[in-house]
Amino acid sequence: MSKNIVAYSVSLFILAGAIVLGVTVGTVSISPVVLWNPSFDEAAANILWNIRMPRVILAGLVGAALAIAGAAFQGLLKNPLADPYTLGVSSGASVGAVMTLFFGISIPFLGPFTLPVMSMIGALLTMLAVVSFAKLVDRSMKMETVILTGIIFSSFLGSIISLMIALTGEELRQIIGWLLGSVSMRGWPYVRMALPFVLIGSFVLWLKRRELNAMLFGEERAQHLGVDVKKSKMTILIGGSVLTGAAVSVSGTIGFVGLVVPHMTRLLWGSDHRHVLPLSFINGAALLIVCDLVSRTIISPTELPIGVITAFIGAPVFAFIFFRQRKGGI
């Protein structure tokens, strides 16, 4: 059996297990039989299909979106520490979403899609600003330069969010709750809001898998191989920003998923983007479903924000990658 078949089989098995655990474990335990036979227990089926299943699917979509965006950013910048959170893209998406909530913006022809669209615009503008500024400082785009630029922009955007929170009134609870990062109390409407953008953004990045492989050898070499580097970079940035904006708009700021999952995927299954992208998508979905399960059961009945759980996992991994890279291990 080839390594790729094993990789996809293991990843899909873990995802299926995470989904089953996500919908059956909680304050009320539900038998897995309800999944294919709702009449077995109608009350449990109601909880499963109307509360837990949309929550699990939304967590999966957010995790998949952040992980595949992180994989693309890491490939594009040739930097294993790049992800939507460390680059400040999540903060840009947050500013777009908070502005929408703060000012009550609703674009007529977009309706409920105003929030994810504004979030994506914030993510894209931030990504472009971070890359442009980092290039101004250091044309070779060293790891430290990109990460420090991301931290600077993230801090600045965080201050804008703090200012809006300080000025807000009745919307305070809504904005604070949203910023903590959670998929709690999100129903099927949120799934429908995020799904098209996650699918489109993921498909756009998957189309650029060969260009990402070519750019691993440097932009000049990629150009010799026939890659339109400028166009490909812009397409990847837009695709990653669409995914980050879609994820942030329905779940708030959840860090480190886009860092941990692609890195672990590369370590386990190799660096070919034809497989890194889809495997990151699957494993990112599984990781966030499990993190959401832990966040709502570890100190039940109180729920922790998912961002707390992902930070517990992501921060040590970030430190480990940074340590290995500085020591020349990567």
Q: What does the alpha-carbon distance between residue 85 and residue 24 come to, in Å, rounded to a whole number?
A: 31
CA distance 80 to 254: 18
CA distance 59 to 286: 9
pLDDT category of residue 171 using cuts at 50, 70 and 90: low
Q: Does domain 3-327 have CATH number 1.10.3470.10?
A: yes
Is the CB of residue 175 less than 8 Å from the CB of residue 168? yes
pLDDT tens sequence across 274-326: 999 999 999 999 999 999 999 888 877 778 888 888 888 877 877 777 777 66
184 has a pLDDT exceeding 80? no
State the helix-helix crossing angle for 188-207 and 229-251, rounded to 10 degrees: 170
**pLDDT value of position 330:** 45
Which range has the worst mean pLDDT, 13-27, 81-95, 188-202, 289-303? 81-95
Q: How far is CA 271 from CA 72, 174, 208, 330, in A?
A: 11, 41, 14, 12
As a whole-number percent, the residues of the chain with pLDDT over 90 amount to: 22
| Better pLDDT: 52 or 104 | 52
Round to whole Å and give the CA distance between 323 and 81: 11
Whether the pLDDT of residue 258 is over 70: the answer is yes
pLDDT value of residue 4: 84
Domain ranges in the chain? 3-327
Please list the helix, strand and coil fractions of the chain in percent, rounded to the nearest 5, in that order.
Answer: 75, 0, 25
The token pair that represents 262 in the structure block? 């692609």
- Average pLDDT of the chain to the nearest whole number: 83
Burial class of residue 297 in the structure, from the number of CB atoms within 10 Å of its CB (0-12 exposed, 13-18 middle, 19+ buried): middle
Cα angle: 304, vertex 309, 50; to 5 degrees: 55
